[in-house]
Structure 1
Amino acid sequence: MIRADRLHRRFGPVIAVVDVSLEIGRGEVVGLLGPNGAGKSTLLRMLAGYLEPDAGTASLDGIDVRRRPIAARRRLGYLPEGAPLYPEMTPSGLLGFVAGVHGLVGRARRAAVAAAAERVELGPVLHRPIETLSKGYRRRTALAAALLPDPPILILDEPTDGLDPNQKQQMHDTIRKMGRDKAILVSTHVLEEVEAMCGRAVILAAGRIRADDTPATLARRSPDGRLAGLFRTLTLPDAQPLPDVRRPAEAA
């Protein structure tokens, strides 16, 4: 459902993503881990079709995002980093606008707005101006907009940013449940979140994939038996090359 083939991107002298190849199928929730500046958001933006790669290709549900961008985006729900919102609108108004963009009208439009709002529990603030909302509720509003058309593919950049512990747990549960029949790629720098909601973890460092396997398998490969230990080993500035810690199918 999500496929990257040797994606490469640089910004002037800085190489952000280096020949990244990745495949995510329906029914998978994959956590993309990495320190700040690892290239996570750049990779997600290329996969979503909002940033052109210097080399390589990306496809969503078999649709090339560069050659057929509109068709590819119709299969995608995308939550970018720092998702911009219209501050003068209410969550209800914004979701209605998003529903209209997706061609939903009448009863279908109202049902889609209600379902998206309920999924992220926006009820208490549904009719308040977005500019008056807390960071957590603004983040939930942006996520509801991404979820509204019920797409088969979700790319979520830091979906729990700004949420309190209870809200984070609810979001973990929601993402796990949606992952039963969708392909979901979640970017985060919180290792515990990957262990809580993802069946697979990909560690990105200096623009390259350094590890790709289940969180439990990666933890067993760590010197201290913990995912955090492997993460530090692979991502510290003076990290040394290690044997391949990707799944056999990925390493082949």
Structure 2
Amino acid sequence: MIEVKHLVKKYGEHLAVDDLSFTLEKGQILGFLGPNGAGKSTTMNILTGYISATEGTVSINGHDIFDEPEEAKKCIGYLPELPPLYQDMTVREYLNFVADIKFVKRNEKRKMIDRIMRMTKITDVSERLIKQLSKGYKQRVGLAQAIVGFPEVIILDEPTVGLDPMQIIEIRDLIKELSKSHTIILSSHILSEVSAICDKIMIINKGRLVVSDSPDNLSQHIGGSKGLHLEVKGETETVKKALEGIEGITKLEFEKNSKGGIVKLSAYSTEESDIREAVFYALSDARCPIYDMHSTKMSLESIFLELTQDNKNSNTTKNSNRLFRKNKQKNEEVYAAGANNQESEHKEEN
């Protein structure tokens, strides 16, 4: 459905997107993550045809966004971070206008708009001017315009900004429902939201692909695929010293809200290591009773920080560069295999 090959975008000497390649199949929800200035918005603007690329190609449903922009854009619905609203129109007038731009058939337009307004919960404000709406309702109207025409690909940049918790849950459910017949790219700073609804997560940093995998497998890329959550009685430094010497532990993560002499932490290890017994004896020798110990996973927030923090941590930098090279090589192999298959099929047809 979406195929991006060796995408590069330069602004003078600044490299905003650096040799980015990825593919996305129909029905998948991609969580597109990265720190501010990582190149997320630039990439999404290129995918929608809003700006051009310096190098590389983008294919949407088989149409090149640069060679066949009109056909490619017909397949895309886009909600930018700031919704493109006409404030002096009513909600219904605006959605009618969007439907006309997207060449929705006249006899289908009203039925479609009514359905989309029900989906996004904006029917009750359909006759109000957009400028009179709250930020949350404006965000919903922006989402509604992206859905008009039911395009194959929907790109959402911070779709839940300004929404209250109940509205966020409703939009999350709507995105899941849309994924049954649409391919969705979702950019958000609410990492718990991304983890809850995305089939695949892609993290970029300084324009480079750092890692791309399912939410469940992301932690394996930094050697923290298994973990234990612990509540231990004792001093933090004593607990830390006791655990640091255990073979197989790749990361210790202490919670800041530890109090009353109870230290809360997570100890992560490689997939092959079972550290439970070693942890028990180490803390016993340090005379630090274990009040609770159970399996846990490294949070998406921790993974994100580990993979995108600045060059102050040389090990993380080396790891990020290694992952970039690994993903680049993997994508090149996939594209080469695909090209060979297409060539073989072409020869057989002839």
Deviation at 1:162, TM superposition (A): 1.3
- Range with bigger deviation, 20-29 or 216-225: 216-225
For the pair 1:80 / 2:73, whether they are aligned, the reply is no
Please state whether the residue corresponding to 1:81 is helix, strand or coil: coil
For the pair 1:240 / 2:317, whether they are aligned, the reply is yes
User: 1:104-123 to 2 correspondence within 5 Å?
Assistant: 104-123=104-123
Q: 1:8-50 deviations in whole A, cap 9, x for unaligned? A: 1122232111010010010110100111111100000101111
Q: Which amino acid aligns with 2:218?
A: L
- Distance (Å, rounded) in 2 between the aligned partners of 1:237 and 1:192: 22
Answer yes or no: is the 8 Å Cα contact 2:201–2:214 preserved in 1: yes
Change (3 A) 1:46 1:35: same
Change (3 A) 1:51 1:98: same
Deviation at 1:231, TM superposition (A): 0.7
- Distance (Å, rounded) in 1 between the aligned partners of 2:178 and 2:110: 21
- Distance (Å, rounded) in 1 between the aligned partners of 2:4 and 2:206: 17
Change (3 A) 1:250 1:6: closer
Residue 144 of structure 1 corresponds to 144
User: 1:158-177 to 2 correspondence within 5 Å?
Assistant: 158-177=158-177
Q: 1:105-140 deviations in whole A, cap 9, x for unaligned? A: 443110111111111111221111111111111111
- Distance (Å, rounded) in 1 between the aligned partners of 2:67 and 2:303: 38
How many pairs does the alignment contain? 252
User: 1:58-137 to 2 correspondence within 5 Å?
Assistant: 58-137=58-137
Q: 1:73-115 deviations in whole A, cap 9, x for unaligned? A: 1111111221221100011100011112222344311011111
Answer yes or no: is the 8 Å Cα contact 2:21–2:328 preserved in 1: no
- Distance (Å, rounded) in 2 between the aligned partners of 1:43 and 1:247: 17
Ranges in structure 2 where 5+ consecutive residues have no aligned partner: 225-267, 269-297, 334-350
Deviation at 1:221, TM superposition (A): 4.1
Ranges in structure 1 where 5+ consecutive residues have no aligned partner: none
- Distance (Å, rounded) in 2 between the aligned partners of 1:106 and 1:182: 23
Q: 1:175-234 deviations in whole A, cap 9, x for unaligned? A: 111112221111112211111110110001111110100111113444452222111011
Q: TM-score, normalised by structure 1?
A: 0.94
- Range with bigger deviation, 98-107 or 225-234: 98-107
Please state whether the residue corresponding to 1:180 is helix, strand or coil: coil
Residue 45 of structure 1 corresponds to 45
Answer yes or no: is the 8 Å Cα contact 2:114–2:123 preserved in 1: no
Change (3 A) 1:120 1:87: same
1:228 to 301, 318, 322: 301
RMSD (Å) for aligned C-alpha atoms: 1.8
Answer yes or no: is the 8 Å Cα contact 1:79–1:155 preserved in 2: yes
Please state whether the residue corresponding to 1:67 is helix, strand or coil: coil
Q: 1:223-252 deviations in whole A, cap 9, x for unaligned? A: 452222111011111241214385996485
Answer yes or no: is the 8 Å Cα contact 1:99–1:112 preserved in 2: no
Residue 33 of structure 2 corresponds to 33
Q: 1:51-91 deviations in whole A, cap 9, x for unaligned? A: 10000011100100011111101111111221221100011
Residue 57 of structure 1 corresponds to 57
Residue 12 of structure 1 corresponds to 12
Please state whether the residue corresponding to 1:66 is helix, strand or coil: coil
Q: 1:129-170 deviations in whole A, cap 9, x for unaligned? A: 111111111111111011010111111111111111111111
Runs of 4 or more above 4 Å deviation? 245-252
Please state whether the residue corresponding to 1:216 is helix, strand or coil: coil
- Range with bigger deviation, 242-251 or 102-111: 242-251
Q: Which amino acid aligns with 1:240?
A: T
For the pair 1:185 / 2:185, whether they are aligned, the reply is yes
- Distance (Å, rounded) in 2 between the aligned partners of 1:114 and 1:240: 50
